[in-house]
Structure 1
Amino acid sequence: MNGFRAVFSVAGPWLPVLSFLARLPAALCPIGTLMMLTELEGIARAGVVAGMLWLGQAVGGPPIGRLADRCGHRPVILVAAPANAVAAVALVGSVLGGLPVAASALLAGLVGLTMPQVGPLSRTRWIALTASRPEGKELTARALSLDTTIDEISFMAGPALAATVVVVCHPSAALLLAALLSAVCGVLFGLHPTTPGPVRSGPGTAAGVRLASPALIVLCAMALAQGLIWGGANAGVSALSEHLGDAGMAGFVWGAMAVTSALAGLVATARPGKRDLTVRLRLAIVAQTLLVLPLLAVSGFAGTTLVIAGIGAAVAPHLIAVFGLAERVAPAVRMGEAMTLLGSGLIVGQGVAALAAGPLAQAYGFRAAFGVSCAAGLAACAVALVLVRGRRFTPVSAGSGRPAPSATQVSPPAPEPAPAADRRA
C-alpha cells in the first residue's frame, strides 16, 4: 500500500474521487445518446447523432487543453463543465421535442466540443503536483498509473451505469445523469485547490513553445492504434452477440477488458517496474497484439470473454507508458494540450474502426471486425519496434521544448588551475 499512500499524500483522497466522477460524463454521453436515440427514433438516427458527439470530443479536446495551458485549468473547466451540462440537456430536449435529426446532431457535436477533458487535464495536474517532489520521477509514474486506472474504471462503469438508469428510469436518463455530473463534479474538480494555474517558463509562455516533435507524433500514432484495436474489438463483440441472438451480452463481454485493465493499472501503481518506459511500451503493445489474434478463432461468449479479458491485461500498461512518455517529451508549458491530443487520438481511432468494422461485420461476419483489431495491433507493433527507442524520447527541458542536457552535460568542464605565480599574485 505504500505506493498508494505516496500518491494520496500529494493531494489527498478526494482528488481521485472527484476526477472519477467528473470524467464519467465522457463515458456516459456517447452510450447514453446511442441508447436514447435507438429506443426513441431508431438505430439509423442514433448512429448519426452519436457519431457527431464522438467527432465533437475528438475535435474539441486539443483546443481545451491549449486554453488550459495558457489560462489555467480552473477558468477553462468552470466554463466547459456547465456548458457541457446545458448542451446535454438541450440534446435531450431536441429528441423529446421531435426536432429534426440535424438539430440533434448539431447539439450532440456541441456536447462533444464542450466536454471538459477531465481525464487528460487530471494527468496534467498529477504531473504538476509530483514533479517538484524529491521522489518526483517514481511518484509521477505511480500517479499516472493510478489515473489511467481511474480511466479504465470509468470506462467500465460508464456503459453499465448508462444501461441501468435507462432501463430503470427513462431512455434520456443517462444523458441527464451526465449533465448533473458535469454541472456538480466537473465544477468541484475545477475548484479543487490543486488546480494548476497558467504555466509559464521564465519570460516565455505556452504560446511561444513548439509542441510538435517526432516523439509526440509517434505517441499519437500509438494512441490512434489503441483506439483502432478497441473499436474493431467492440464492433466484433457486438456483431458476435447479435449473431448468437443475445445482443445484451455485448456489454458484459466488453466489460471484462476494463476489469483486467484496471487491475493491471493498480499493480503498476503499486509497483511501477524498473524498465524504461520505451521498453515497457514495446512489450505491452506486442503482448496486446498477440492477445488480440485469438479473436479470429472465437465462436462463443465464454471464449470471447476470456480473450477480451486477456487483452485488457495489456491495455493499461500500454496507456501508462504512452502517457508517461508524453510527460517526458512534451514541454511542461503545453502539457495539457499534449495530453488532450493523445486522448483525441484514442477517440479518432475508435471512431474510424467503428466505421470500418461495422460494414465489414455486416458483410463478412464478426471475425472481419476482429480483423480490424488484429491489423491495427500489427501496425502498432511495427511502429513501436522501429520508432519507440530511448534516444528519441529524451526528456525536454522545462518550457523550452528542447532536449534536456544529459548527466554528462549538466555543467561545463572545470577550468584549468591557474599557474602558481598567478595564484600567489
Structure 2
Amino acid sequence: MSVAVNFRLARQLTGGRVLLWSLLGRLPNAMSPIGTLLLVSRNTGTVWSGSLVAGALAAGQAVGGPIVGRLADRRGQRTTGLAAALANAVALVALVVASERGLALGWQIAPAALTGLSVPLVGPLSRSRWARLACGEPELTSALLTLDGIVDEVGFTAGPALVGLLASAAAPAVGLLTAAVLSGVCASLFALHPTAAPGVPASSLPHARSAERLLSTPYVLVLAGMALLGACFGSVQVGITATTEALGRPGAAGLVYGFLGCTSSLAGLVTASLPARLGLAPRLRASAALLFAASCLLLPAGGSLPALTAAIGCLGVAVAPQFITMFGLVERTVPAARLGEAMAALVSALILAQSASTFLAGWAADHAGPGAPFAVTTGAAAAALLLAICTATERRYRRRDPAARTG
C-alpha cells in the first residue's frame, strides 16, 4: 500500500486528528534528551554535568517505560496517558527551574529522572492502538504500523532539530519549555482521543497464566535486535561529533545527524509501499544486511565531511525498514493484552543500549581516534545481521493469540 492509502485508512478509523496529536505528542520524547544536555551544560559550564543529568533522564525512561505501558494495558490508555503527560510536563518545568536557578546537581537530576519515568509513551501506545484498531487483519495492521513508523521517523528528526533551533534563536530553556507544553497539551489530547484502548484487567482474561506470558523466544530476539540498533545510534552520534570536531567543523554535527533522519524517513515511505506478501522475517534479514553494508562505509569516511555525510545517509536508509519491521514483529509475537508494555520495553531496550554504546564509543574516540566509534557501529550492525540470519524465520514469528486481536 502507498502512504496515501495508509493515511486514508487511518483517517477512516480515527478521523485523522489522532495522527496530529500522535506526532506532536511524541516530539517531547525526542526533544528532552538533547534539550537537557544543552541546558545543563550551558548553566553548569561542563558537558559532564549535562551528560549526567541527561543520563538520569534516559535511565528513568528505560525503567518507567514498561511500567507506564503495563498500566496503560491494564487501566486504559486514557487514564494512564493523561496522568503521564501532565506529570511529564510538570517535571520538565521543574528541571528548567532547577537548572536556571543553579541548584545543586542532585536537584537537577531528580526532575530529570522523573521526566524519564513519566514519558507519556505516545509512540509505543500509538502502535498498540493501531494494532487494536486493525482487529488482527494482517495487511491492515502492516499498513497502519508502517504509517506510524513514518510518523516516528519524522518526530525523531524534527525533535532534536527543533531544540537546536530554539536554543540558537533564544535559549536552551525555551526548547524544554516547548517540550513541556507539547507533552501537557498534545500528549493529553492523544490520550483522551476516543480511540484510546480501555484496558484489560488481568482478572478478566481467560486462561490468564498462559495469556499473560510476555517473554518468549521470538520477543527476546526482537529485544536483542532493537538493542543492537540502539548501539548503532549511540556510537554513530559520538562518531559524528568526534569526526566533525577533528575536521574543524563541529557545528556540522547536528546537520549530519539530521541527514540520517531525513534518509531514514524517505526509506520509511518506501517501506510503506512494499507488498504485504513480503514477510516480516525476510524484511528483517534484508534490512540487517543493508545496515551492516552501510556501517562499513563509515569506516573510511572520516577524512572529509562530504564522505561522512554520504555514508551517514546510506546508514539512514537501513534504519527505518529495520525499525518498522521489529515493531511489526512485536505485534505478531506478544499477547494483545500486553502489547503496550511490550512496545514500551522495546523502546527501553533501544535507549539502554544507546546509552551504553555512547560511553563505549566515547572511550574509543579518546583512546583510538575520532573514527573509532564507527568500529563500534560496524560491530553492532554485524551482530544484528548475524542474529537476523540465524533466527529470523516466518515460522518463528508466526502470529500469536489471533482470537485476542479480532476485536
Q: Equivalents in 2 of 1:305, 1:153: separation in Å?
A: 19
Aligned counterpart in structure 1 of residue 121 of structure 2, from 117, 123, 128: 117
Q: Equivalents in 2 of 1:229, 1:206: separation in Å?
A: 40
| Distance change in 2, residues 1:207/1:105 (3 Å) | farther
> Secondary structure at the residue paired with 2:81?
helix
Aligned counterpart in structure 1 of residue 379 of structure 2, from 372, 375, 380: 375
- Tell me if structure 1 keeps the 8 A contact 2:139–2:276: no
| Distance change in 2, residues 1:265/1:205 (3 Å) | farther
In structure 2, what is the equivalent of residue 389 of structure 1?
Answer: 393
Q: Equivalents in 1 of 2:368, 2:15: separation in Å?
A: 51
In structure 2, what is the equivalent of residue 234 of structure 1?
Answer: 237
Counterpart amino acid of residue 259 in structure 1: C
* 1:211 is the counterpart of 2:214: yes
- Tell me if structure 1 keeps the 8 A contact 2:163–2:172: no
How do 1:286-301 residues align onto structure 2 when only pairs under 5 Å count? 286-298=289-301, 299-301=303-305
| Distance change in 2, residues 1:206/1:309 (3 Å) | farther
Q: Equivalents in 2 of 1:52, 1:272: separation in Å?
A: 42
Q: Equivalents in 1 of 2:186, 2:10: separation in Å?
A: 21
Q: Deviations for 1:260-286, whole angstroms, at most 9, x for unmatched residues? A: 111111222234442110011011011
Q: Deviations for 1:39-86, whole angstroms, at most 9, x for unmatched residues? A: 111211101001111111111110111000010101001100000000
Q: Equivalents in 1 of 2:370, 2:228: separation in Å?
A: 20
Q: Deviations for 1:135-166, whole angstroms, at most 9, x for unmatched residues? A: x2111111111111111111111111001111
Counterpart amino acid of residue 93 in structure 2: V
How do 1:398-417 residues align onto structure 2 when only pairs under 5 Å count? 398=402
- Tell me if structure 1 keeps the 8 A contact 2:231–2:380: yes
How many residues align? The count is: 399
Q: 5+ unaligned residues in a row in structure 1: which ranges?
A: 405-425
Cα distance, 1:201 vs. partner?
Answer: 8.8
In structure 1, what is the equivalent of residue 95 of structure 2?
Answer: 91
> Secondary structure at the residue paired with 1:390?
coil
Q: Equivalents in 2 of 1:54, 1:153: separation in Å?
A: 21
TM-score, structure 1 as length reference: 0.90
In structure 2, what is the equivalent of residue 313 of structure 1?
Answer: 317
Q: Equivalents in 1 of 2:275, 2:72: separation in Å?
A: 29
| Distance change in 2, residues 1:51/1:205 (3 Å) | farther
| Distance change in 2, residues 1:336/1:305 (3 Å) | same
* 1:328 is the counterpart of 2:329: no
Counterpart amino acid of residue 395 in structure 2: R
- Tell me if structure 1 keeps the 8 A contact 2:6–2:147: no
> Secondary structure at the residue paired with 1:82?
helix
* 1:172 is the counterpart of 2:176: no
RMSD in angstroms over aligned alpha carbons? 1.8
- Tell me if structure 2 keeps the 8 A contact 1:326–1:339: yes
* 1:248 is the counterpart of 2:248: no
TM-score, structure 2 as length reference: 0.94
In structure 2, what is the equivalent of residue 5 of structure 1?
Answer: 8
Q: Equivalents in 2 of 1:3, 1:224: separation in Å?
A: 28
Identity %: 40
Q: Equivalents in 2 of 1:51, 1:206: separation in Å?
A: 40
Q: Deviations for 1:373-399, whole angstroms, at most 9, x for unmatched residues? A: 000011111111111222211211147
| Distance change in 2, residues 1:380/1:75 (3 Å) | same
Q: 5+ unaligned residues in a row in structure 2: which ranges?
A: none
Q: Deviations for 1:339-365, whole angstroms, at most 9, x for unmatched residues? A: 011111111111011010012112211
Cα distance, 1:2 vs. partner?
Answer: 2.8
> Secondary structure at the residue paired with 2:120?
coil
Q: Equivalents in 1 of 2:176, 2:152: separation in Å?
A: 19
In structure 1, what is the equivalent of residue 143 of structure 2?
Answer: 142
Q: Equivalents in 1 of 2:43, 2:332: separation in Å?
A: 47
- Tell me if structure 2 keeps the 8 A contact 1:73–1:195: yes
In structure 2, what is the equivalent of residue 222 of structure 1?
Answer: 225
Q: Equivalents in 2 of 1:45, 1:123: separation in Å?
A: 35
Higher gyration radius (CA): 1
- Tell me if structure 1 keeps the 8 A contact 2:75–2:201: no
Aligned counterpart in structure 1 of residue 58 of structure 2, from 45, 54, 57: 54
* 1:362 is the counterpart of 2:362: no
Q: Equivalents in 2 of 1:273, 1:311: separation in Å?
A: 24
- Tell me if structure 2 keeps the 8 A contact 1:7–1:142: no
Moved >6 Å (runs of 4+): none
* 1:68 is the counterpart of 2:72: yes
Q: Equivalents in 1 of 2:167, 2:201: separation in Å?
A: 45
